Amino acid sequence: MKPEEARRKFRKAVRVVLVNNAMNKVAVDYEERDTLLSFTAFAGKCKTKIGEETLTESLTFDKKYFKARKELRLSQDVKSFLTIGIKDRTPQQLKQVLHCLQSVKSFSEYPLYMQEKLCKVAFYHCIPPKRVIIRQGHVAESVYTLLSGQVIVTQLETDPVTKETVQRTVNVLRRGACFGEVALIHQSKRTATVTSNASCELLSVSREVRTGTVTSDVSCELLSVGRE
């Protein structure tokens, strides 16, 4: 063990001992008074004995661990299933994909038969930061659902005074958002550029698949379903 690591562990152990001693003293004091304290009040009494900074550094848990994880985590199996060919996906694989994706609100709002069809034709993508996913003016090829991360929606506009082209941020999309469906359904060009803000995970369904019989009814209902 390196000296720095040994000192860090020793300091941590000392702080834990100090916190335990302070907590025991407060508990004994108020047990004798037959008084009940809330956790907040109890912590406040401990601070007066060992100092707020020491108490904060000595917490044996990180409160961030107890916050709900809002980001969807796909298993490696599900990611793998969503990258193989449509005709190669087995019923058991599709069942596992469906169960996982139903935790995405925008996906779960579809009727069950549409969810099942989307599992058959959707593909998984892991996009690195600052990567253009959709470019303004290009022909629509796919529709996307954001599983994790954030994307930034921007538009190029002409300044009426200077006549220069400027880029304006119009939206920031997060987990559960669906984008790219308008241009795909109306077979028009993209009206905005979508860029990954950080690493993100997407599901995509291509235009070629949507125009086939397997999902022709899915595309007709995309815009009628509410989004997060």
Q: What is the pTM assigned to this prediction?
A: 0.60
Instruction: Compute the mean pLDDT over every residue in the chain, rounded to the nearest whole number.
Output: 76
**pLDDT of 203 over the 60 cut:** yes
Q: Which residue has the higher pLDDT, 174 or 20?
A: 174
CB atoms within 10 A of CB 101: 23
pLDDT of residue 228: 37
Q: Which residue in 183, 107, 169 sits closest to 140, CA to CA? A: 183
Report for 18-32, 166-180, 210-224: range of highest mean pLDDT: 166-180
Query: Per-residue pLDDT tens for 79-135?
Result: 999 999 999 999 999 999 999 888 877 788 888 988 898 899 999 999 999 999 999
pLDDT of residue 106: 74
| Tokens (6 digits) for 129 | 């930061």
| Cα–Cα distance, 148 to 176 (Å, whole number) | 8
| Tokens (6 digits) for 8 | 């860090």
Q: Which residue has the higher pLDDT, 68 or 84?
A: 84
Query: Per-residue pLDDT tens for 149-177?
Result: 999 999 998 888 888 888 999 999 998 88
pLDDT of residue 171: 94
| Cα–Cα distance, 149 to 168 (Å, whole number) | 21
pLDDT of residue 103: 81
Distant-in-sequence, close-in-space partners of 163: CB < 8 Å, separation ≥ 6: none
Least confident interval from 128-132, 160-164, 183-187, 217-221: 217-221
**Amino acid residing at 200:** C
